[in-house]
A and B are shown apart, each in its own frame.
Chain A
């Protein structure tokens, strides 16, 4: 069964799933926007972002707005493809 293979372990968590959902429909999002949308703590969000970054599913772009550091996240091509596969697999599992 190919379906089970497509269930991505990395997306098997509410916060990582949420981060990817937001980044699929938005070119990018910054840390605070993600925090607000997902309603999580700083540390929690940071560790999940790190996990997605390590898998090369998202890229991080650090810059400064005035003196305040601003970190923007966006989904990579690989990340989008993998997430799409994951959603398709979920939908098939439900329909079964």
Chain B
């Protein structure tokens, strides 16, 4: 075997190691951040509702609009952080972020998530908002499980946890808020920390 071939072997090894493990690291640190944003956002929402003097929401009220904005900001910051961390890491390792495998992962993640998001918006306009927290958890769980087929990591298990929490929230709508905090806040931090420790090892 020539030197050229040895070099090709080394390149192939590095390439496969990165390709097969990139999304584990995506979910580590960015998971922790997503969890923190969710808890901050939930605290803001809690404060907004407490401030309004009612313990329920009116669909066209100012408080409701602020909460929708709050949710949008949580999602935006989580996505931006994930993109930032992944691109930084990819640049350091000299790999492309946007390749066929990451494209497939994101598309399959978005299919259940966007369907669920649209469904929630539709039923909100029909005044049915008791199940919003439960539906967000369930559709997010389904999105994770669907995406897990295209990444080597353990987001599949996080997906199952989110679905179970969503179903519990559906049974007890009164606890929807707290289950949402557990699902999007606490679980992300736990999962992210586990993955982060796993990467460090």
Q: Does A pair with B? A: yes
- Residues of chain A at the chain B interface (Cβ within 8 Å): 12, 14, 17-18, 21-22, 24-26, 29, 33, 37-38, 87, 90-91, 93-94
Most A CB within 10 A of own CB, among B3, B9, B12: B9
Contact B16 A18 (CB under 8 A): yes
Q: List 11 A-B contacts (CB under 8 A).
A: A17-B13, A21-B13, A22-B17, A25-B21, A26-B24, A37-B19, A37-B152, A38-B16, A87-B13, A93-B3, A94-B3
Contact partner of B10 among A12, A29, A37, A91, CB < 8 A?
A: A91
B7 at the interface (CB under 8 A from A): yes
In this complex, how many residues of chain B approach chain A with their Cβ under 8 Å: the count is 16
Contact B152 A33 (CB under 8 A): yes
B20 at the interface (CB under 8 A from A): yes
Residues of chain A within 8 A of B1, CB atoms compared: 12
B56 at the interface (CB under 8 A from A): no
Residues of chain B within 8 A of A90, CB atoms compared: 6, 9-10
